[in-house]
Copies of this chain bind each other. A is one copy, B any other.
Amino acid sequence: MRIVRCDVTVSLDGRMAASGQRLENPMGEGGMRTMAWHGSELDTSPFTGTPNPTGAFVMGRNMFGPDRGEWDLYWRGWWGDEPPYHAPVYVLSHYKREPLPMKGGTTFHFVTDGIQAALEQARKTADAGDVQIAGGASTVRQYLRAGLLEELVLHVAPVTVGGGERPLDGIGALDFNPVDVASGPAVTRLKYRPRR
């Protein structure tokens, strides 16, 4: 089975990152506190492997980097030479840019014709794998609103951060089916399927 899935970490106050994000501090002030669970018993992120691997990712431009407007071609993402995706990553943007192959199987593709188009391209290359909407908050929100997300996994960190964007803000009244829940001392994982 291949599904369109979003697996994000949020704080207990629903934020994917704290406010005050900048180049030296991409998660915002105190935002790294939400990531303390990585490496814990519930670390089933795509980076450590899942039963059905992620074949392709979609992310918003702000998740790819801090620059805006025309591309700064020296910027190659937050993750260094070998990003942790090991698959094609479709980056939503208003500005065209040539594909950017990185070490370890990650290639960033820049998509300028919207979230539907990005998802279609991701589906095609994902083959038997899942497509993952990687973030940030605004991108998750857009796919939820468009009814394009099939599974929403929230890793809820046991901290509040007090500011920052929330992926579940601005989506109005939606209904979900709880599918699964798991918890450890560092994080609680909630899995939902949006109802049609």
A interface residues (Cβ-Cβ under 8 A, vs B): 12-14, 30, 33, 156, 158-162, 166, 168-178, 180-188, 190, 192
Contact = CB atoms under 8 A, between A and B. Distances in A.
Nearest to A184: B178
A13 B168 CA distance: 6
B13 A192 contact: no
What is the total number of copies of this protein in its complex?
A: 2
A76 B78 CA distance: 58
B161 A178 contact: no
A24 to B, nearest CB: 19
A178 B173 contact: no
B188 A158 contact: no
Contact of A159 (B13, B174, B183): B174
Given A30-B173, A158-B175, A159-B175, 16 more contacts: A12-B168, A13-B168, A13-B169, A14-B14, A14-B168, A160-B168, A160-B171, A160-B173, A161-B173, A162-B170, A162-B172, A162-B173, A178-B188, A180-B183, A181-B183, A181-B188
Contacts of A161: 173
Most buried by B among A166, A173, A175: A173
A184 B168 CA distance: 21
B156 A190 contact: yes
